[in-house]
Chain A
């Protein structure tokens, strides 16, 4: 009986988790994200584009995990990540903007454009 109860609790907990998860991502709109990502593509839309001081290639963000992109943009906005341009860009973005941009970038897949 106890086991059964535990199993039900587990199932229910999982379901609740999924609901929370889907609710959190109901916001990202690929179409709006494409428009809002225009500024991003000034650097991230050029293959092999380099950041100066220090010198490294600007990361590929197309096809990246949506959840990770949201976390990264939030970290630039909050200052947990240190990059002058990305902090300045992040500061102008609302939660909705971040969700939309992340949805758009995640929807990209190399070779399918």
Chain B
């Protein structure tokens, strides 16, 4: 029979492990504040608000972070071909891409999911 205090130690330990694991995951992702600092070149086309300064530039505000990461990675490695984006993306690190994606994903916009 396990004592009450022993059970408490085990459950607290489990909770701490979970919390540590969770925070490690959060830091492995993007940091929106860092993303904002790195977005200086993006704003010329995508705007301060991420809505795009002209119709040819997509709305980034409110888009899924994981999709933005995917798109930037594809521009970087050339799988997605766009002369303008290739030039910018080539200089981005994996962390830069995550930070930028987190920054734009956190903005609000009219982007949404139409119902079938």
Q: Interface size class for chain B?
A: 20 to 34
Q: Which residues of A contact B109 (CB under 8 A)?
A: 63, 110
Most buried by A among B52, B58, B80, B114: B114
Known pairs A48-B64, A105-B114. 17 more at Cβ < 8 A? A45-B114, A58-B64, A59-B63, A59-B64, A59-B71, A60-B64, A61-B114, A62-B113, A63-B112, A68-B56, A68-B57, A75-B82, A82-B74, A108-B114, A109-B110, A111-B110, A113-B112
Q: Is B59 an interface residue (CB 8 A)?
A: yes
Kindly identify, within residues 20 to 78 of chain A, every residue whose CB is under 8 Å from any CB belonging to chain B.
37-38, 41-42, 44-48, 51, 54-68, 71-72, 75
Q: Give the residue of A38, A58, A65, A111 whose beta carbon is less than 8 angstroms from that of B58.
A: A65
In the complex formed, the residue of B with least CB distance to A55 is B66
| Nearest A-chain residue to B74, judged by Cβ | A82
Cα-based distance from A83 to B58 in the complex (angstroms)? 18
B81 sits at the interface (CB 8 A): yes
